[in-house]
Chain A
Amino acid sequence: MALNLDLLVANVGESATFVPKRPSPDTIIDEWGIKSKVTEEMRVLPWYLSGSITKPEDLEKFQPPAPHAPGRMKYIESVMKLAKDKIAVSTSAGCPFSRAWGLCSSMSLFLKWVFTAPSTVKKLLEMSMNYDLEIGKSCIDAGVEIIWICDDLGYNNGLFFSPSLMRKYVLPCIEKEVEAFKRRGAKVLLHCDGDVRLIFDDLVRTGIDGFHPMERSAGMNIRQIKEKYGDEICLIGNVENKLLLPFGTVEEIAKQTKECIETAAPGGGYMFASDHSIHPGIPYKKAKFMFDLAKKYGVYPK
């Protein structure tokens, strides 16, 4: 609230009966068997280390967590009560690709399996998607109006695998999630880092209502996206977070803030945000300056 934000992201929690394993003081294993490092700097977001699936046969005995386990919705339910009429609430309920590879002992292993064990890749994606579908249902029924699908399909230099393989394996899962969440009454926003220009059209065709964050270092150009898709989707993001926000002057931050608003806001359909996380390297004062300026400058003519 102090940052003057209009949209909150509140996510489902772990099952009330689940006790995370702690193999060491700074590592934790969650319900999905995913091991993460928990550091003081990364206390909000544990640092992914590895999943538990090391060979295709492991998947046969793998049991995903129960999506409707008691306690899972507790945080969202309490946020819905606090946020009523004050701030819009969204939930990150979809990550079919990210979870699928995260369940493996490494991303490299999953990417290798795209070629050597494609049926395992398909099963991992379907298992991940089926969980998301149930979680999304619960959240929408609890009153959440906006569902995020948070699935990084690329990085600075491109997609993790080819557009044709993305279309074969990943995009159908995203499309099913978008369709299910929208049918249940929610808007669906896609968070997808990286250079996804080669499948951007496909992503819009899944039916998403908005796209975030348009990473500048990945070549995502807000002007081009607005020109081509501005009538179809809401654009969210694009203020550079790796170098500008940590090291830039307030004048430079102000310039880019205004530029993003001037480019994407006309005609409606822009939500102001950075092009990636507000990470520990960004001074609080600069983040606050940026959001305050956006609030002041980002006003549609009456």
Chain B
Amino acid sequence: MVSSVKKREILEKIKDAIVNLDIEGMQKACKEAIHVGMPAYKAIIDAMAKGMETVGQKYENSEYFLAELIMAGETMKEGMRLLEPYLDCCKVETIGKVVIGTVRGDLHDIGKNVVVMLLSAAGFDVTDLGVDVQPEKFVEAVKKSNPDIVGMSALLTVTMTEMENVIKALKEAKLRDKLKIIIGGAPITQEYAEKIGADAAARHAVEGVAICKLWIKNI
């Protein structure tokens, strides 16, 4: 019988591996977790998600930068890869659903990918539509997965106008009122979000995820 102290130690190692961007440390800690029979969802929710939260705080404090966010994501991905075979026996409850994509005409995705990674770590079920996404595809995805939130990304002034088209398409399909819409990207401002009828604009990925978590909490 493994002591609760030992289990807490392992969870701490998993969390630290993410915070310290330590892929090898993650591999060792996950193998320990598997060895002691720790439920995989516990490692994910109690350790990995907390690790990513700390990484997010370090990013907001300018201790960590984009590269660290990406490396933290890679470290978490490695942990998920090791724990995934053990997830079938446990049901991992998600806190909410998000459909996200980079809008039509825009191929930039690095920011959007970081958001996807942080949302997944936070417990969201994320449908990533990729880049250059037509408004119709957003509507189709919303009909199919019934999300709580739709996220849109655009890096260019010429493509950000597509966000308004997506919102119009959602209104026409009578889906707009059933969800929250968050937008992000270099030219995006809160004023623009208000102008086009989005619910929020995020200055960066970490802020975006914080807004999504607040929305879910208040639902």
Task: Mark A residues whose CB is within 8 Å of B.
Answer: 37, 41, 47, 49, 106-108, 111-112, 114-116, 155-162, 165, 198, 217, 241-243, 246, 279-282
Contacts and interface: CB of A to CB of B under 8 A. Distances in A.
Contacts of B113: 108
Interface in B164-200: 186-187, 189, 192
Given A198-B62, A217-B187, A242-B187, A107 B158 contact: no
A37 B67 contact: no
Contact of A165 (B23, B67, B110, B192): B67
Interface of B: 21, 23, 62, 64-68, 70-71, 74, 105, 107, 110, 113, 156-158, 186-187, 189, 192, 203-204
Nearest 6 Cβ contacts at the A-B interface: A161-B67, A242-B187, A111-B67, A281-B157, A281-B158, A157-B204
A246 B157 contact: yes
A160 B66 CA distance: 5
Contacts of B204: 156-157
Contacts of A49: 107
A155 B69 CA distance: 14
Contacts of A112: 67, 70-71, 74
Contact of A162 (B65, B70, B192): B65
Contacts, number: 71
Contacts of B157: 241-243, 246, 279, 281-282
A158 B62 contact: yes
B194 to A, nearest CB: 13
Contacts of A115: 21, 67, 71
A280 B160 CA distance: 13
B186 A155 contact: yes
A198 B187 CA distance: 22
A62 to B, nearest CB: 22
